[in-house]
Amino acid sequence: MNNLNVGKKLLLGMFVVAGLMLLSTTAAAQDMYLKYNIHTQVDRANVLKGSYANYTNPGDGHLIIPAGTKINITKKSRRGFYFTHDVSSQEAFVEFHEPRMAMSVDAYLDLITSPSPVNLATFSATDQKGIKAGSAIVGMSREGVMTALGYPAAHRTPDLDASRWIYWQNRFRTLAVDFGADGKVSSITN
């Protein structure tokens, strides 16, 4: 085979690879919806910042991006992801820590998003009240708490079947949500 044919085959191979990369990027751009509320706070760069630790009460500037919100991931890395949404014009960033969550950022995104919006009508009235407020309320189900507060940080709640889930209110304070034998919230401790 001469060098010209080798070059043509190499060029064709590069086009095929580029086409496959474009196809995978296009597929990744599909609409996604949040399954759980994301609690954010405006940072110094005017970006809404959230965390895998689910800061449920970060202080001034607290804004909840509600479950069911359509999002578009604009950038992601092992340290987190940026996304746009229609709750405000501010881009949002969710910090992420793979070792503490024991999963990749892609696996986390698969857990917290869905290709279709969440149907909040399937939740009990108590769950709906907590989800709307972004709070845990006595009597809520586990799924209701997760939808209201976010997926629990694995380094503090490694087992979703545990009778106690720990959430971070901010960088310094935690919130303990205890579940009774019926799977409903029995108490909440700040």
Beta bridge partners of 135: none
Containing structural domain, residue 86: 32-114
Query: Residue 136 in contact with residue 128, Cβ under 8 Å?
Result: no
What is the pLDDT, as a whole number, of residue 89? Answer: 82
pTM > 0.85: no
Q: Is residue 27 part of a domain?
A: no
Nearest to 167 by CA among 149, 187, 185, 180: 149
Q: Are residues 40 and 109 in the same domain?
A: yes
In angstroms, rounded to a whole number, what is the distance separating the alpha carbons of residues 173 and 183?
A: 25
- What's the order of all strands across the beta sheet hosting 185-189? 164-168, 174-179, 185-189
Q: Are residues 103 and 129 in the same domain?
A: no
Domain count, the chain: 2
Q: Is residue 154 part of a domain?
A: yes
pLDDT digits (tens, 9 = 90+) for 53-112: 999 998 888 999 999 999 999 999 999 999 999 888 889 999 999 999 999 999 999 999
92 sits in the region (left: phi over 0; alpha: psi -120 to 50; else beta) called: beta
